[in-house]
Structure 1
Amino acid sequence: MIIVYGIPNCDTVKKARTWLDDQGLAYQFHDYKKQGVPADKLPHWLQTLGWEKVLNRAGTTWRKLDDATKAGVTDAASAAALMQAQPSVIKRPLVEWADGRLSVGFSAELFASHR
């Protein structure tokens, strides 16, 4: 089963979900706002993808953080703590594919490569 992690009002998440729907691919949507960040999955994501790839430094949530908080994110542990407290700093969508592979972000080419 494909699991798409994100927030429903994110434009990139919407594009990803539309692409999956258009391809007729079944998936489960995990809403960070309602369900939080799965604490059992986050360490695996950070180890597999790298915490710097998962952390969204371009987003509004990151930009609104004070400089001390930003400066405190220096490794996987500090990034994980911030991601648990502020799920919107996780790049979206994060997708767990049926074969166990992970991806971050959306492009039709990226998603097609994981089919």
Structure 2
Amino acid sequence: MDVLLLEYPKCSTCKRAKRWLDERGVNYADRDIVADNPTADELARWVEASGLPVRRFFNTSGRLYRELGVKARLDGGMTNEEAVQLLSTDGMLVKRPLLIVDGTPTIPGFREDAWSQALALD
């Protein structure tokens, strides 16, 4: 199983998620979402593989999300391609932590039940 964790090292939820993975003995590659922001191609693949709307990949509680008026832009008809391009411009726009298992993301954010299911820990 190939496991990638995209996280922001200063984020308390990301720290909690890493601790949770470590306690369960999950081997994963760790990637700083700001220093190594996901590309538009990666994001497009992950959004499609997840089956979730692209808006679920936005960090809606972030300062940058509010400053850029992303909610209004999404509500105003921003296309998936435009949204993915915007997400790829700054890691602080991306919902974190993001767990990618064998190329497919779980629900963006840390949800123990979804992560357990994606990692076949149940």
Normalised by the size of structure 1, how large is the TM-score? 0.82
**Count of residues in correspondence between the two structures:** 112
Change (3 A) 1:108 1:70: closer
How far the C-alpha of 1:16 sits from its partner, in A, is 1.0
CA RMSD of aligned residues (A): 1.9
* Gaps in structure 1 of 5+ consecutive residues: none
Unaligned runs of 5+ in 2: none
Residue 39 of structure 1: CA displacement?
3.4
User: Do 2:40 and 2:84's aligned partners in 1 also have CA atoms closer than 8 Å?
Assistant: no
Residues 55, 79 of structure 1: 8 Å contact kept:
no
Q: Equivalents in 1 of 2:9, 2:57: separation in Å?
A: 18
1:92 to 96, 101, 107: 96
Which residue does 1:54 correspond to in 2? 57
Question: Which residue of 2 is the match for residue 63 of structure 1?
Answer: 66
8 Å CA contact retained: 2:40, 2:85: no
The structure whose residues are more often helix, as a share, is 1
State the alpha-carbon separation in 1 of the partners of residues 3 and 80 from structure 2: 25
Asked if the contact 1:56/1:62 (under 8 Å) is kept, the reply is yes
User: How far 1:84 sits from its partner (Å)?
Assistant: 1.4
Runs of 4+ in 1 over 4 A off after TM superposition: none
Is residue 3–residue 101 contact of structure 2 (8 Å, CA) maintained in 1?
yes
TM-score (norm 2): 0.78
